[in-house]
Structure 1
Amino acid sequence: MSLLRIKKPTTRKGKKILLAREPQLHEKVKNTLFIEGRKSSGDIKQALKDLYHIKKPLCKVLSRSNDITPFEDTSSLQYLAEKNDCTLFMFGSTSKKRPNNLILGRMFEHELLDMVELGIKEYKGLQDFKNDKIGTCVKPCLVFNGPKWGQTEEYRRLKSLFIDAFHRDTVQAIRLQGIEHVLSFTATDDNQIMLRSYKILLKKSGHKTPRIELTEIGPSIDFSIRRTKIASDDLYKLSRKQPKQLKVSKKKNITRDELGNTHGRVHVGKQNVTKVQTRKVVDGKQLVYTKPKFVVQVFSVRLRLRATRLGNGKRICESSTRKYDIPHTNSIFRVPTKSCVDTLQPSTLGKLSQEASSDLIRATSERGHSELINLQH
């Protein structure tokens, strides 16, 4: 439990501070707290300074020595982390039993989540490399070499801890000239971890893609893993849980790959090629007809001009009914396209009378109908 007492805010500023400490949908960048133990050697002090130079300004340094033993009692460490609003910490100390000791850890809900104790075997600081250094606020590229990073749970947690420790603010895009710093972590078979820091130099290559050179700028540290204290699987899963508001709703037929590219899937139904209407060319004076859309029905000696839409039978219009003398009522007549209706003589419609043919032509022209018309009984 935290040693800080929870008080009800009495001022607006105090309420604002407490609301800022509550869990947010978009958390701010994690700060790192640098702490020196009761005793610390020169290598430990210089290592903390060099790591502070890489992390700044996302860090805080406690100038005084602190008599803290994190693996025996974590209450003081949790108190300092919560008071300084830091979720990561680096604790350096030295003793006869554990010389040059560096403890790296992180918090969740102001309580200890993971903690790893590393021993420094060999160390070269920034001042040992006489070359140009990088500036502040440069996002480093993290490279993890060796198959051991994914073999055991301790190495997987340590890899995640290194990523949290050297991670900066999240950006959507980055330019090529902005990649200047590389941190390489190599895990060997004898349980050693070698940290190397390089500066990226872009040289001319005669092509569009530049030639890359790496220059070691320090610090160079060889670690050995001593003690670990990792969280349980349930607590670790709870710490990685994301709120529902940030989860992207799954959409059908849309997927994303590892690089963030969006891929869509389109389902095309079965196409009936036989019903596809293609363009028909008129050859000379020959009349070409298409499928009928309107039907003219003949009832005994009455000719009713009724225009209906095929399929659903919806009536569009209906002309006036007249009496005509039709010799054969069960006949089918073809009416040419609209372009030929005006010049068509009534006698060409077959056995209809002069008056019936004129009405049929006039009804066809008024409705703008240029398709095949059937006369059915």
Structure 2
Amino acid sequence: MLKVRTPKNARAKRELEKRAPKLVETGKKTLILQGTKTSNTLNAVMTELYLLKKGSAIRYTRKNENIRPFESGGETSLEFFSLKTDCSIFIYGSTSKKRPDNLVIGRTYDHHIYDLVEVGVENFKPISSFTYDKKLGPQVGSKPFICFIGEGFENVEELKHLKEVLVDLLRGEVIENLNLSGVDRAYVCTAISSDKVFFTHCALRLKKSGTVVPRMELVEIGPSMDLVIRRHRLPNEGLRKEAMKTSKDHPKKKVKNVGQDVIQGKIGKIYVPDQKLGEMALPNKSKGVKRERREAKTKNNANEPVSKKQKEKILHNSQN
């Protein structure tokens, strides 16, 4: 196990905070590793899964002897690699006489095993066995559609668990806005029986439909395989509750004089102050104001004292 050390500087502290569990998760990385014995089919499956997850996956090609995910104490190495690479999803491949071409897909919480699904690979077809226009090949980093066909994904416990794990494995980073041109592929999972799923990878071809929305066609580009469920292990209830915690929305600040009604919707109260018309300033262009000014001017002139020269001028005008 890795020795627990306290950070000695701010940079190391920030790095540890990035790896710590978060209420709002960032994109999950996938760790792909193998056991002591694998087959050519299993190696091809892991290689092509790594190519599909390119950019958000880490592949280890060395053999690991001590990894036994379903046994007590056998998950120590897995947790070590999860902590070392900061990966929260892993794919472990091994083959044996009892379980040939075996894949274990699991998730971790706080770098401890959360849940596990073990599947067997049958009828595998690599990408090289499909012929299609290479221009339809999906771009690195594009977002996929994930389709689950069949009632078993809602009724059968094993298939419901496999669906949850596959969604986490294939969806990539969660985003808010999406451009239609960036969705160029689809993963199709079909429930054949209660323990068998047909998995295939298709490209999306956009064609004219006579409307603004184009018509889509699926072109199988591989890989494809049958996944037979062998074993699975669900998380315990306490761990599930801890891992499913979400950030609570901040309570909205109460707005004064605003209410809600079932029929009318949002209702508000508006308070209008009393209008003091007597104190309102009238515009300067008003005729009434001009008249009042003229009257006030003449009144002021009448009340002003008359000088000696003005009196002589007034007297002279009256004699003439």
Q: TM-score range by the shorter chain?
A: 0.7 to 0.9
For residues 224-239 of structure 1, the aligned pairs below 5 Å read 224-239=228-243
Alignment match, 2:129: 128
Q: Deviations over 1:21-74 (max 9, x none)?
A: 223354321100000111010111100111111111001011211112211111
Say whether residues 1:104 and 2:105 are aligned partners. Answer: yes
Q: 1:173 Cα deviation (Å)?
A: 2.1
Residue 52 of structure 2 aligns with an amino acid whose one-letter code is I
Alignment match, 1:18: 16
Alignment match, 1:140: 144
Contact 2:24 2:247 in 1 (8 A): no
Residue 70 of structure 1 aligns with an amino acid whose one-letter code is P
Residue 169 of structure 2 aligns with an amino acid whose one-letter code is A
**How many pairs align?**
262
Residues 254 and 5 from structure 1, CA distance in 2 versus in 1: closer, same or farther, beyond 3 angstroms? farther
Task: Please give the root-mean-square deviation of Cα atoms over the aligned residues, in Å.
Answer: 2.6
Q: What is the SS of the residue equivalent to 1:187? A: strand
Q: 1:142 Cα deviation (Å)?
A: 0.4
Residues 147 and 213 from structure 1, CA distance in 2 versus in 1: closer, same or farther, beyond 3 angstroms? same
Residue 125 of structure 1 aligns with an amino acid whose one-letter code is P
Contact 1:123 1:221 in 2 (8 A): yes
Q: 1:248 Cα deviation (Å)?
A: 5.2
Radius of gyration: which is bigger?
1
2: CA distance between counterparts of 1:118 and 1:69? 15
Contact 1:183 1:197 in 2 (8 A): yes
Q: Deviations over 1:143-176 (max 9, x none)?
A: 1111111114433222111111112222222222
Alignment match, 2:289: none
2: CA distance between counterparts of 1:96 and 1:250? 61
Say whether residues 1:211 and 2:208 are aligned partners. Answer: no
2: CA distance between counterparts of 1:240 and 1:254? 34
Q: Which moved more, 1:144-153 or 1:55-64?
A: 144-153
> Which structure has greater helix proportion?
2
Q: 1:243 Cα deviation (Å)?
A: 2.7
2: CA distance between counterparts of 1:54 and 1:178? 15
Say whether residues 1:265 and 2:269 are aligned partners. Answer: no
For residues 269-308 of structure 1, the aligned pairs below 5 Å read none
Gaps of 5+ in 1: 256-263, 270-308, 310-314, 318-377
Contact 2:32 2:91 in 1 (8 A): yes
Residues 267 and 200 from structure 1, CA distance in 2 versus in 1: closer, same or farther, beyond 3 angstroms? same
2: CA distance between counterparts of 1:8 and 1:190? 49
> Percent of pairs identical after alignment?
33
Residue 265 of structure 2 aligns with an amino acid whose one-letter code is R
Alignment match, 1:31: 29
Gaps of 5+ in 2: 254-258, 279-320
Residue 230 of structure 1 aligns with an amino acid whose one-letter code is L
For residues 78-93 of structure 1, the aligned pairs below 5 Å read 78-93=79-94
Residues 156 and 233 from structure 1, CA distance in 2 versus in 1: closer, same or farther, beyond 3 angstroms? farther
Contact 2:125 2:225 in 1 (8 A): yes
- What TM-score do the two structures reach when normalised by structure 2? 0.75
Residues 249 and 127 from structure 1, CA distance in 2 versus in 1: closer, same or farther, beyond 3 angstroms? farther
Alignment match, 2:205: 201
Q: Deviations over 1:190-246 (max 9, x none)?
A: 4201101110001123332322211000010101100111102332122111133xx
Say whether residues 1:42 and 2:36 are aligned partners. Answer: no
Q: Which moved more, 1:81-90 or 1:185-194?
A: 185-194
Contact 1:154 1:230 in 2 (8 A): no
- Structure 1 residue ranges (4+ consecutive) displaced by more than 4 angstroms after TM superposition: 250-255
Residue 195 of structure 2 aligns with an amino acid whose one-letter code is N
Residues 148 and 6 from structure 1, CA distance in 2 versus in 1: closer, same or farther, beyond 3 angstroms? same
Q: Which has the higher contact order (CA 8 A, sep 6+)?
A: 2
Q: What is the SS of the residue equivalent to 1:107? A: strand
1: CA distance between counterparts of 2:76 and 2:53? 25
2: CA distance between counterparts of 1:216 and 1:192? 20
Q: 1:268 Cα deviation (Å)?
A: 8.8
Contact 2:152 2:194 in 1 (8 A): no
Q: 1:254 Cα deviation (Å)?
A: 11
- What TM-score do the two structures reach when normalised by structure 1? 0.64
Q: Deviations over 1:95-150 (max 9, x none)?
A: 01100001100000111111000001110011111222222111110011111111
2: CA distance between counterparts of 1:250 and 1:161? 35
Q: What is the SS of the residue equivalent to 2:240? A: helix
Residue 242 of structure 1 aligns with an amino acid whose one-letter code is T
Contact 1:87 1:107 in 2 (8 A): yes
Contact 2:23 2:245 in 1 (8 A): no
